[in-house]
Copies of this chain bind each other. A is one copy, B any other.
Amino acid sequence: MGTPVTSDRSHERLHRFDAGAVGAWRIVHVAPVAGESLQTAERLDVHFPGDVLPSDAATPRWSLTGVSSHERYTTRDEKTALLAQQPPLGRASATCAALIPIRKNAAWWALTQDERRAILEERSHHIAAGMSVLPAVARRLVHCRDLGSPQPFDFLTWFEYAPEHADAFEQLVATLRATEEWRFVDREVDVRLARESR
């Protein structure tokens, strides 16, 4: 019976994005798309699961956290197609990145699963749009909405691509922002980055 409630499974899904003076990625610009923007900063320090988090670093200008999680909308057929094409993060050629934090409104979260799926894919073709830029654009989605403390966004998406695919990436974000799904977005910030060592 003796039962520690803390799990011995470490949290292997946590991602953290710290904007400040340090980090491998230089912040090129920070643009509000909907709602309040984020402050600009010089660099972004991206912490993937398993990374040792800095304990003595200066307080970042802002810090966003999320967890990778199970598939919310993707079907098996879509996942099979995605897995066949999606590239890893960290490619040497992928020196461009975007961090796009998004919050959806209460009306979205009040929808049921079938209603959200119908808007996201059957009518807005979100998954298909992401697939159309594979394998050029690598993507990692993390969720913030169900963290234990209030968060400014519901999810964060991180994209990496080579400069020659910048036009395809711009087309992707423009396409998505014109969809029915995006009518439920009440805060969105677009942070663009370039990889440079210091």
How many copies are assembled?
Answer: 2
**Is A76 a contact partner of B7 (Cβ separation < 8 A)?**
no
Interface set, chain A 137-169, CB cutoff 8 A to B: 143, 145-152
- Which secondary structure dominates chain A's binding surface? loop
Interface set, chain A 39-62, CB cutoff 8 A to B: 39-40, 62
Question: What residues on B are CB-neighbors of A10 within 8 Å?
Answer: 150
Question: What residues on B are CB-neighbors of A113 within 8 Å?
Answer: 71-75, 113, 117
Mark each residue of chain A from 8 to 30: 1 if its CB lies under 8 Å from any CB of chain B, else 0: 01110010000000000000000
CB distance from A106 to the nearest CB of B (A): 10
Total residues of chain A contacting the partner, CB 8 A: 49
Kindly state whether residue A2 has any CB partner on chain B within 8 Å.
yes
**Is A148 a contact partner of B39 (Cβ separation < 8 A)?**
no
CB distance from A83 to the nearest CB of B (A): 11
Question: What residues on B are CB-neighbors of A146 within 8 Å?
Answer: 67, 69, 143, 145-147
Kindly state whether residue A93 has any CB partner on chain B within 8 Å.
no
Kindly state whether residue A122 has any CB partner on chain B within 8 Å.
no
Kindly state whether residue A198 has any CB partner on chain B within 8 Å.
no
A-B contacts besides A1-B39, A6-B150, A69-B146, 19 pairs, CB < 8 Å: A1-B40, A3-B36, A3-B38, A3-B39, A5-B38, A5-B62, A5-B64, A7-B151, A7-B152, A9-B150, A11-B148, A65-B148, A73-B113, A74-B112, A76-B112, A79-B112, A143-B146, A146-B146, A148-B149
- A to B CB contacts below 8 Å, 9 in the list: A3-B62, A7-B150, A11-B149, A71-B112, A74-B113, A78-B112, A113-B113, A145-B146, A147-B148
